[in-house]
Chain A
């Protein structure tokens, strides 16, 4: 690797050295490096970029050294932050019920409930922002409004990333992509925001969150209610009521007996665990979706 001559070159080399790492890690690493390099450059304005980089390779580290440090750190962070993985269970039964001991299950459960609220909020925000941007575009306040809206989209993207990481356990960036170059004209910077594929994929994600949120919320609440209802069947029987109570003109059924009631309870327990599995699976899927739409395009 030849020595980088410009900041952009240094960042390209760093990106190349980090190839294959988590996209969220790459975004964080690039942000840190760019902040440091620009600070170094601003410190001694008389010095050229190439000269500054020569010095930086000694102090901050060459791109491949930096990549090495970040990979090392990441392993340690993952170990420190994450709860210990639940013990791996061999037996089918163990794996089926083991879902209750997995912290991610409950995070995902909470996320599914929350997604209705966040989904409505994101959707409203995106639709209002887009239509108001469209409407204002003929006025003088059009461009400032679009810029404001796009920056709010970036902020929300980072916030959603934090929620997804906390609840679903998928590594998401802690830093936004570095703001575009200072030297560029205002119009160019606005243009860059427009051309940034991630801005659009984030807006798409925000729109998608409404149907997804409704789906997640409804399915989770329904499954939970049904299975808990089944589990509670013996309680109803114990108070002297019938679990099933059908009576029409031509047909009536009151029952079942204790054996049937316990059967309902067992079915309910199984259904409850199926629900937990489903929630955890949905959480995983959604984590991948979020990463794809909110982060992945940054790394390429």
Chain B
């Protein structure tokens, strides 16, 4: 791989590691029903390449960390057609964090946009 390609890859990785928690919280915050890991991965796949430049395996440890922090709750349910699945849903403190993180993200995005568009004198 050439130099700029690997630099780009590294940058994408850093971006996604910074935003993936927010995205997972948001997906579960919008969903009416609890979702399992695979379902979340597919949902993000539909959204596009941008959010998770990396591999879907990166989702699972993050889900677990969010659960450990009390922002998500999970339970295992047997399924009719396949293997047992671990369903995640957002908790009350998860919703609070989502609100705060969203405004933090908006502030970051706006200021980055400002800089990129030359808004800084």
Contact = CB atoms under 8 A, between A and B. Distances in A.
Interface in B18-45: 36-39, 41, 45
A293 B76 CA distance: 25
Interface stretch (A38-46, A107-115, A208-216, A229-237): A38-46
Given A60-B56, A69-B55, A73-B61, A35 B86 contact: yes
Contacts of A41: 82
Interface in B47-64: 54-58, 60-62, 64
B57 A182 contact: no
Contacts of B86: 35
Contacts of A175: 64
A38 B83 contact: yes
Contacts of A38: 82-83
B85 interface: yes
Interface of B: 17, 36-39, 41, 45, 54-58, 60-62, 64-65, 67-68, 79, 81-86
Interface of A: 28, 32-36, 38-43, 45, 59-61, 65-66, 69-70, 73-74, 76-77, 80-81, 174-175, 179, 182
Given A36-B60, A39-B38, A59-B41, 17 more contacts: A33-B57, A35-B85, A35-B86, A36-B37, A38-B82, A39-B83, A41-B82, A42-B79, A59-B45, A59-B56, A69-B58, A70-B61, A73-B58, A77-B61, A77-B65, A174-B67, A179-B84
